[in-house]
Amino acid sequence: MGFEYRCSGTGFWSRIAVVAFLVLFAGMMSGLTLGLMSMSLVDLEVLAKSGTPNDRKHATKILPVVKRQHLLLCTLLICNAAAMETLPMFLDSLVPAWGAILISVTLILLFGEIIPQAFCSRYGLAIGATLAPVVQVLVVICFPIAYPISKLLDFFLGTGDMSLFRRSELETLVDLHGNEAGKGGELTRDETTIISGALQLTGKTAGDAMTPISETFSVDIYAKLDRAMMRLILEQGHSRVPVYHEQPRNIIGLVLVKNLLTVHPEDEVHVKECQYSQNPQGFRVNASI
């Protein structure tokens, strides 16, 4: 009779509405805790300045809320705890004590934790931007309690200011993009190679960029520019080829590969006849390397 009495009248349905609201509210707080607190200020700044139009709009709305991370964390946890502690009180007036505990645990676990966090971990940016005004109101409501706790956290753990990537972290990030270049990534391997090279410039010396003379490709000044030699020069892929006299270490100049376009392989002219000048060695040295 007692349970049938509880299930009758407007009071029953009003309590059901309150229970549903508390479960949804606790789920929203739990999901926002995961979704908002997992976003770093660096990621949000990047999205706000160079993301897609929707990402820029969402990040701009979220940034003012997330900047005071400890205050936001305290607010969301206080609201979540208040909703979960209040839920059994209303369920107790509808079902026996053991039923209230069982139902509250089931509802909180399924609809207050698992489902909201699953959605917010996937669509945290859009959900956080949509609920940002609600979170700001909750921050004001919980401010007397949340603010002192957040200041203690700031004192012991730091303020959580935006930390930028270190050079090694940026290089790793670029390498990951290079590995994904063939899987639909927006950066090509050539682009990631250029970026990685630029990041490593501060630790490079001129010697690191030099090729040992024993490993360089060069041609004798008296070599014939026949078809085989022309093919060999083109296969190297260089715009300039060193020219030596008598021994490879005796480099006397450079020949521009583009100047060989006018040379016919059938003529079998010598290298010294290209760009010939009146210097003593009979070869003009191009100083612009």
| DSSP tag of 210 | P
Query: What is the reported pLDDT for 8?
Result: 53
Of 286, 287, 284, nearest in space to 271 by CA: 284
Query: What is the reported pLDDT for 105?
Result: 78
**β-strand 219-220 against 240-245: which pairing, if any?**
parallel
| DSSP tag of 111 | I
pLDDT above 70 for 5: no
Buried/exposed code over 243-259 (b: 16+ C-beta within 10 A; e: otherwise): bbbeeeeeebbbbebee
69-92 and 10-37 helices, crossing angle to 10°: 160
How is domain 211-273 classified at the CATH fold level?
CBS-domain (3.10.580)
* Angle, vertex CA 12, rays to CA 95 and CA 113, nearest 5: 65
Of 192, 156, 149, 187, nearest in space to 172 by CA: 192
What integer is the mean pLDDT of 261-280? 69
53-66 and 132-157 helices, crossing angle to 10°: 50
pLDDT above 60 for 82: yes
Residue 70: strand, helix, or coil: helix
Integer Cα distance of 79 and 84 in angstroms: 9
pLDDT digits (tens, 9 = 90+) for 35-54: 898 888 888 888 888 888 99
Give Cα separations from 36 to 44, 161, 200 (angstroms): 10, 15, 34
Integer Cα distance of 21 and 212 in angstroms: 74
Task: Give domain limits for the chain.
Answer: 2-157, 167-206, 211-273
Integer Cα distance of 101 and 89 in angstroms: 10
Query: What is the reported pLDDT for 184?
Result: 55
CB atoms within 10 A of CB 237: 8
